[in-house]
Structure 1
Amino acid sequence: MKAVIMAGGEGSRLRPLTCDLPKPMARLCGRPIFEYILDLLLQNDFDEAAVTLRYLPNAITRRFGSDGKTGRYREMDLTFVEEEQPLGTAGGVKNAAKGFDEPFLVISGDALCDFDLSAAMRFHQERGAAATILVKQVEDPREYGLVNYDRDGTVTGFLEKPDWAQASTDTANTGIYLLNPEILDLIPDRESYDFAKNLFPKLLSMGRTVCAYPCSGYWCDIGDLDTFLACQRDILNGKVRCVMPSKEATGIYCAGALPQGDYEIIPPVYLGEGITVGDGAVIGPNTVIEDGCRIGRSAKVKRAVLLRDCYLGDRAACTGALLCANSSVKRGASVYEGAALGAGAVVGEGATVRPGVRIWPGKRVEEGAVAAVNLQFGTVRSGFFDDDGVSGETGVEMTPEFMARFGAAVGTVLKGKTAAVCGLPDECSKMMKRALISGIQSTGAGVLDFGELFESALRYGTQLCGAQMGVFVSGGLKTRLALCTGQGLPLPRSMERDLDACMQRGEFSRCAYEEIREAEPVPGVLEQYKLALREYAPGGLSGMNAAVKSASPLAGRVLREVLFGLGCTVESGLQLHIGASGTRLAAADEETGYVWAEKVLTLCCWDEFQKGNDVALPYEAPRAIDRLAGREGRRVLRYLDCPTGACDKEARALAERQPWVRDGMMCAVKLLRMLKERKATLRELLDQIPGFSIAQKSIPWEGNPGRALKRLAGEGYRGDAAEGVLISTGKGKVLVRPAKRGKGFKILAEAANFETAMELCEGLQEAIFRQEAPKETPPLDL
């Protein structure tokens, strides 16, 4: 049988390990990942493989090839195909598989697994599928492309690296495929084309059968340094079926003779050839030390990987870290969990490399110094976005240093374009905003400084001024950053991932001093915003009475000024409650009592339907609005808070023209205009919309949200473009949505009254907590 091995990976998230070698040549327990893949193919009766190459191809051809074009590994013939330009996963495979006339395997050269590939091939042929995707359950689905499929294995849809809110399954695409050769004709020549993004969806649209084959063996997509280290621990602990050197003793694997000396070994460990170990040293457990390494007296190495020819001095310590080839940790120095030294890097005597810090190849940490940030590229932190944006305790997680780095990430993602920035008027917000602006400027990107505003005004101003991103800074005990696109909408998942990647790797754009652009003050934004508010009542509001209450003094003052200018009395009457951000409006009067923001939004939507307009709403907005739209012969389009692709493109395009949906101030003027034009009371307007109540609950969660949602929704749930799972019952609707960081669920229930809505919330909470134990999905008692 034949295979195509994709071995062109650069492995940017594995830096500094991959600064000088391609990802498939990273070594696991003394051998390149690529060799483990070749062994697996041979064990499953594959005897011929085409290998796609791009990044540092000579590192592979020198080891496995003879003339740079062909090679051999044991009984397997290899053909090397170098990509001159990136062709994507499918484009590269088509280029390599020319002449294949039978079903063949596609496998990554940089992921370790021990799947039964022969059984998968039999399944593929028996089902008569055009393509079969090998899938595997994962604990954290956010870093993978996910596959939804029916009970019989027929693929129904895909989700590409979602956040927890959209991870409706935990079944990952392993990047291992079985393909019929005729489908290669669907792949265009000489252009980038991917399997998951392009080819497989095209096959589904053509009605061709695409199957999923669940695998129960070991699989590790070695995407970052943590998984690189964890994979080696799994090998040492026997979790992977693979070839290992003979054991000297229980749990001790040696490529050569066991080093002489008076030291202690705590299994499991792997020791290469030509190693020297000083007296009193302690090695292990879960440690890999490759050929030629030197370990000093009383040194300690545990849960660590030392590649070839590393040096660990007397009394030095390496715990849970990676030392690349020829790197050195001198006497008394310490390198901690998750840290990595690039090839040839040096840590001086008594120095400390703190957890998670990366030292790039050839760099030096001076004696006694503390490396608290990446030497060259900045610090490392992942998962910055939560449901509130980017937030943390002021002076702890959120510092001026962090703000400058995050600003640099914003500027890097914008690639020289412009960000709009504003903040609250307190000193903390001002300080944090200055640091943020400095970071953006350091990349050469432009800054529009709107001064002191509130969030809804920022969204409006960002769209008005043509900026590509908006950032609102709110200080205090907790500092929060709220970000929006140039259209005033929530950021898509791709932009959040880009910002996270910049922060995690510390790889920011930098500009020369003459390229630094001055932050441009834009003092007129607030006046333009006031004019926009006035446009929602072109005939004025004379004769109306309203009292404004707001947690934001500035927002309250602005709304009072606008209403007064429109002829409204602003000291009594209908109470308008504006949230601190200015994005939500609630109302109250003596007849109706308090009217929640969801019902006020529904009233504003009804007004649009009466005018013959469709409305674009956030995914969480009340479903009663859909019923109202159907009654009026209109549509509701819903956009996602953090879409993974262009699934909500139409909704977002409409939302750009309807800023009032996200702006409580605009809704306030709109509501008063409705009351005046219809000569109605708030009670009379509310009678025009369906009656409903909303109840919410937030619950903590330590398990896998994607797996819980999969069981909750039933096996084979298709996971359409949505955030969470929307469940319809005889009593109402319930939206179950994981928190962005996966540490909890938000339950939003909608029913005829509040008591019923709360019952639905509590019923779903109980159902979620039942998901961890049973394998079968329990019935929902709602």
Structure 2
Amino acid sequence: MKAIIMAGGEGSRLRPLTCGIPKPMVPVLTEPAIKHIIEHLKKYGIKDIGVTLFYLPYKIKNYLQGEYGNSIRYYIEEKPLGTAGSVKNASDFIDETFVVMSGDVITDIDLKSAYEFHKSKCSKATLVLVKVDIPLEYGVVITDTDGKIEKFLEKPSWGEVFSDTVNTGIYIIEPEVLKNIPENNIFDFSKDLFPYLLKNHIPMYGYITKNYWCDIGNSMQYLQSHFDILKGNIDLGFNKNLYTGENTSISSSAKLVKPVYIGDCVTICENAVIGPNAIIGNGCIIKQGSSIKNSILWDNVKIGPNNELRGCVICNGVKTEKNVRIFENAVLGENSFIKAYSEIKTNVKIWPDKIIDSGIVVNKNVVWGSGIRNLIFGARGIKGVFNEDLTPEYLVSLGEVIGNIFSGNIAIGHDGTNISRYLSDCIVRGMLFAGAEVLYADYALLPALRYIVRKNHYKAGVYIRNEEEDNLRILIMDENGCEIDRGLEKIIENKFMLSDYKRASSDSLKPIKNININKDYTDFLLREKPRNIYGIKVKFMDEITKEVFDFINKNSNMVLITAGNNYDVGIKLSRDGEYIKLYDDTGSIFDDDELNYLRLLIENEYGDRNFVIPFNSSKFLYEMSEAFDFKTVSSKLSYNDKMKKMLEMEGEIPKTNSQFNLSFDGINFSLKLFDYIENKKKKLSEIRKEIPQSVKLNKLVKCDWKDKGLIIKKFYQDSKNTIADFLDGIRFDLGDSWVLIVPDPELAACRLYVEASSKEKAKNLINEYEQTIKKILAEK
């Protein structure tokens, strides 16, 4: 008798076990399932074996050639042909009675007895059948008392369960049956061929076996097959309660609770508890105090200290840190990394190469993106890539958390791009599920949303903007229109990680309220000087800026005059209206310090003579503030800290000439600047020449996340004999120069800021401090 092994399936129900390998290559006791099938065939003297392949065919072929040389024939389908069609594809090999077996079953069926039954009945096709308690997932086969097949029911409902005998996918067939299978077409045994044979009265029988059979079609069945092997329900060479491979190191204080299978080159450290029903693959390391029960570890898995694994499957190369807990029917895909104190809940599937950050409770599958990170907030709000970091599930959950934390009205808007609109829709749904009252502004300018939140005393605001292709940022603001502080960010992070939020009952759900905030905002902008601006020539430096001002024009009577290449002011705004790039009449662009100088001038002319100076600002801003007799406050580099301090100095009533609005509203700043230039009758280039000159440089120096604190600590220890400030990072005052070292909140890096009297000196300082950082890292 010859054999055909069907090994073309994708194994989609087994994912993520089969994300990178075909289903027949899934390991069973550290060896691929297909190898156990081949060894079973050889036990009955069947050496002529063909394998049909479709999904990742060369992974199977290369493995089998390495194990068995050229003794096996391979038949690769160019397109899916179905089970019977794939066997027909190997018809040149089949010239005698043959057995068909799936490459993804675990069985010890007595093939000799099945063959003898087949021949004794003069059957053309004999199906091997087994009795199961719940046959809904299988093809039910009904036979008469002689074993002759009378009826097929493919995956019946409970109302169709007329028999407990199901099709195992193992068949013994005479070669002439193949003529009933069409060439190069999709054709299945159970759906097409067998009903055809039955209809045409071609003899078919069912051989009922009491031998072991298990289809490893999903992770539960996969786990169960291993437990059955360990219990001795099937003989795959494991005939002891305990098996340990070669070159294995087991601590004397570790405890092995039989039955246990341990592969080669395994290290089990002190006080670990392994078993019962534990399969540890080759090259695994189990750190001290970890407990593994009813679980399968593939090869080269590294389990950290004090882990608890219960009823799970861990694929190749997975690594966990300390105090991780993984529960029943959870599956971790290859090379995933679970950081300390995380918890993977029951039935959760984590796709390969994902990172789960510290302290996260994962209660749903992780398929897209690079994983689940606990630090969802960065330098400003939440930044991520569409459908990788920012998946629909993530966004809805975020909306639910926001809706739980801010009880009351929540306004939400976006920058008008389709991708931002999609994100806002997902967050809105989450907030609604939490029972929040959502005020939907749709496309709106960010300064407008800030203003309306503050004016109407809303509890919170949310704004989504598309900063570059598929990279988006979600900003969350408090009742003052100020971006939330780190304390509130932490609360959101914790609730998000632990899924610690409530959902509203159906009778407490609130409808979405659509609001138009743009008219209120433009009235606010122009109320102090509601007139057309004709006195200066303005050039919009890109289409987005023109669109933003057109947007304002639609809600007001304002007209801005633009004029070719001859202009007094050139402006370039971000789509959301917040950022501004400013060009003088010579085309020179203003840097951040120079923009703040202009804000100082406007404040000095119209404002309250209060000014917040960011920690990385040029010295001349302090000097000019002092000359203007301003009250000044230093702020950290974070947007929240700058906003918070500006609002504290501004007071409760929003003002267009406040530093807050001049700094975080590019449109407002533009209008105030136009007024200032008109009143002073000065060109921007002339004002720019009055700014004290110095050279500022900054540089990103890469380091590991864990080394950021070490770098600041070392600089702090070395600051004893130097004048230094510690508001945000550490800044050294070097007389006419200064250097600031501050960890980057979003990148694995530190930032260096330098100001000096000359470019050469600034470069030298940057290089000197960069080398100091590298030396600290080299000596750690």
Write the distance in 2 (CA, Å) between the matches of 1:393 and 1:344: 28
Report the CA distance between 1:278 and its aligned residue.
3.1
| Alignment partners' CA distance in 1, 2:561 and 2:308 | 77
- 1: distance between equivalents of 2:775 and 2:288? 44
Of 316, 319, 323 in structure 2, the residue corresponding to residue 337 of structure 1 is 319
Long gaps (5+) in structure 1? 1-258, 776-782
1:655 offset after TM fit, Å? 5.5
AA matched with 1:635:
K
Runs (5+) with no aligned partner, structure 2: 1-240, 367-371
- Cα pair 2:399 2:427 within 8 Å, conserved: yes
The structure 2 residue matched to 1:704, chosen from 696, 702, 707, is: 707
Question: Would the alpha carbon gap of residues 554 and 338 (structure 1) be closer, same or farther in structure 2, given more than 3 Å must change?
Answer: farther
Change (3 A) 1:665 1:618: farther
1:392 aligned partner, one-letter code: G
Give the residue type in structure 1 aligned to 2:574: G
Counterpart code for 2:436: A
Query: How many angstroms does 1:550 deviate by?
Result: 4.6
Aligned to 1:520: 513
> Structure 1 counterpart of 2:609, which letter?
N
Once the two structures are TM-superposed, the CA of residue 292 in structure 1 deviates from its matched residue by 8.2
**Among candidates 445, 453, 468, match of residue 462 of structure 1:** 453
* Aligned-partner residue type, residue 664 of structure 2: R
Aligned to 2:621: 625
Q: CA offset at residue 661 of structure 1?
A: 2.0
Q: Deviations for 1:190-238, whole angstroms, at most 9, x for unmatched residues?
A: xxxxxxxxxxxxxxxxxxxxxxxxxxxxxxxxxxxxxxxxxxxxxxxxx
1:113-170 Cα deviation digits (max 9, x unpaired): xxxxxxxxxxxxxxxxxxxxxxxxxxxxxxxxxxxxxxxxxxxxxxxxxxxxxxxxxx
In structure 2, what is the equivalent of residue 211 of structure 1? none
**Within 5 A, what are the aligned runs for 1:129-528?**
262-263=244-245, 266-267=248-249, 269=251, 271-272=253-254, 275-281=257-263, 284-285=266-267, 287=269, 290=272, 293-296=275-278, 302-304=284-286, 311-312=293-294, 319-321=301-303, 328-329=310-311, 336-338=318-320, 345-347=327-329, 356=338, 364-365=346-347, 376=363, 380-387=372-379, 389-414=381-406, 416-475=407-466, 476-523=469-516, 525-528=517-520
**Structure 1 match to 2:769:** 764
Deviation at 1:305, TM superposition (A): 6.3
What is residue 739 of structure 1 aligned with on the other side? 744
Alpha-carbon offset, residue 260 of structure 1: 6.5
**Counterparts in 2 of 1:598 and 1:701: CA distance versus 1, 3 Å:** same
Question: What SS is found at the alignment partner of 1:502?
Answer: helix
Provide, for residues 758-778 of structure 1, a one-character-per-residue CA deviation record: whole Å limited to 9, x for no partner: 554444333433333469xxx
1:729 and 2:725 equivalent?
Answer: no
Aligned residues: 514
CA distance, structure 2, for counterparts of residue 343 and residue 772 of structure 1: 33
**Larger RCO, structures 1/2 (Cα 8 Å, 6+ apart):** 1
2:665 maps to what in 1?
A: 663
The residue identity in structure 2 corresponding to 1:557 is F
Deviations 1:404-462 (A, max 9, x none): 22223333443x34433222322222212111211222222332222113433333333
Matched residue of 2:776: which SS? coil
Distance in 1 (CA, whole Å) between partners of 2:709 and 2:332 is 45
Give, in whole Å, the separation in 2 of the partners of 1:500 and 1:561.
40
Letter of the aligned partner of 2:707 in structure 1?
N
Is the 1:264–1:280 contact (alpha carbons within 8 Å) kept by the matching residues of 2?
A: no
2:548 aligns with 556
Secondary structure of the residue aligned to 1:583 is coil
CA displacement at 1:365 relative to structure 2: 3.1
Q: Does 1:635 align with 2:631?
A: yes
* Helix, strand or coil at the partner of 2:504: coil
Residue matched to 1:583: 578
The residue number in structure 1 matching 2:526 is: 534
Q: Which has the larger radius of gyration?
A: 2
Contact 2:602 2:673 in 1 (8 A): no
Residues 312 and 326, structure 2, Cα contact 8 Å, conserved in 1? no
The one of 661, 680, 683 aligned to 1:681: 683
- Give distance in 1, aligned partners of 2:389 and 2:336: 17
Q: 1:281·1:296 contact (CA, 8 Å) conserved in 2?
A: no
> Residues 514 and 688 of structure 1: is their aligned pair in 2 closer, same or farther, counting only changes over 3 Å?
farther
Counterpart of 1:629, as a letter, is S
Alpha-carbon distance in 1 for matches of 2:335, 2:242: 30
Q: Secondary structure at the match of 1:673?
A: helix
Query: Does the Cα contact within 8 Å between 1:583 and 1:663 map onto a contact in 2?
Result: yes
3-state SS of paired residue (1:749): strand
Name the residue aligned to 1:250: none
Q: Answer whether contact 2:349 2:364 (CA < 8 A) is retained.
A: no
Assess if the C-alpha contact under 8 Å between 1:444 and 1:511 holds in 2.
yes
| Secondary structure class of the residue paired with 1:483 | strand
1:162-188 CA-partner distances (Å, limit 9, x unpaired): xxxxxxxxxxxxxxxxxxxxxxxxxxx
Q: 1:490 to 1:551 in 2, by over 3 A?
A: farther
Q: What's the secondary structure of 2:745's corresponding residue?
A: coil
Deviation at 1:557, TM superposition (A): 2.5
Structure 1 residues 402, 297: CA separation in 2 closer, same or farther (over 3 Å shift)?
A: closer
User: Residue 743 of structure 1: CA displacement?
Assistant: 0.9
Rounded Cα–Cα distance in structure 1 between residues aligned with 2:496 and 2:331: 29
Cα deviation, residue 672, structure 1? 0.9
- SS of the counterpart of 1:507? coil
> 1:569: which partner in 2?
561
Cα distance in 2, alignment partners of residues 743 and 330 from structure 1: 33
Q: 1:273 to 1:615 in 2, by over 3 A?
A: same
Mark the CA change 1:677 to 1:275 in structure 2 (over 3 Å): closer, same or farther.
Answer: same
Structure 2 vs 1, CA of residues 633 and 298 (structure 1 numbering), >3 Å: closer, same or farther?
closer
Q: Is the contact made by 1:467 and 1:486 (CA closer than 8 Å) also made in structure 2?
A: yes
1:354 Cα deviation after fit: 6.7
Q: Over aligned residue pairs, what C-alpha RMSD do you find?
A: 4.7
Contact 1:338 1:357 in 2 (8 A): yes
Kept after mapping to 2: 8 A contact 1:422/1:451: yes
Matched, 1:543 2:535: yes
Q: How far did residue 511 of structure 1 move? A: 2.1
CA, structure 1 residues 562+329, in 2 after alignment: closer, same or farther (shift >3 Å)? closer
Describe the superposition over 1:635-694 as per-residue Cα deviations: whole angstroms up to 9, x where unpaired: 2223335499x9996555126753222222111111111112223222443355434454
Residues 691 and 641 from structure 1, CA distance in 2 versus in 1: closer, same or farther, beyond 3 angstroms?
A: closer
Question: In structure 2, how many angstroms separate the alpha carbons of the residues matched to 1:349 and 1:753?
Answer: 59
C-alpha distance in 2 between matches for 1:410 and 1:642 = 21
Cα deviation 1:292-315 (Å, max 9, x = unaligned): 842446666944469798533577
For the residue of structure 2 that corresponds to 1:737, the secondary structure is strand
Q: Distance in 2 between matches of 1:771 and 1:368?
A: 37
Distance 1:269 1:292, change over 3 A: closer
Opposite residue 595 of structure 2, the aligned amino acid is V
- Going from structure 1 to structure 2, the CA distance change for 1:279 and 1:482 (only over 3 Å counts) comes to closer
Query: In the alignment, is the contact (CA less than 8 A) between 2:540 and 2:546 conserved in 1?
Result: no
Quote how far apart the aligned CAs of 1:536 are.
Answer: 5.9
Which moves more between the two structures, 668-677 or 299-308? 299-308
CA distance in 2, matches of 1:286, 1:761: 49
Q: TM-score, normalised by structure 1?
A: 0.55
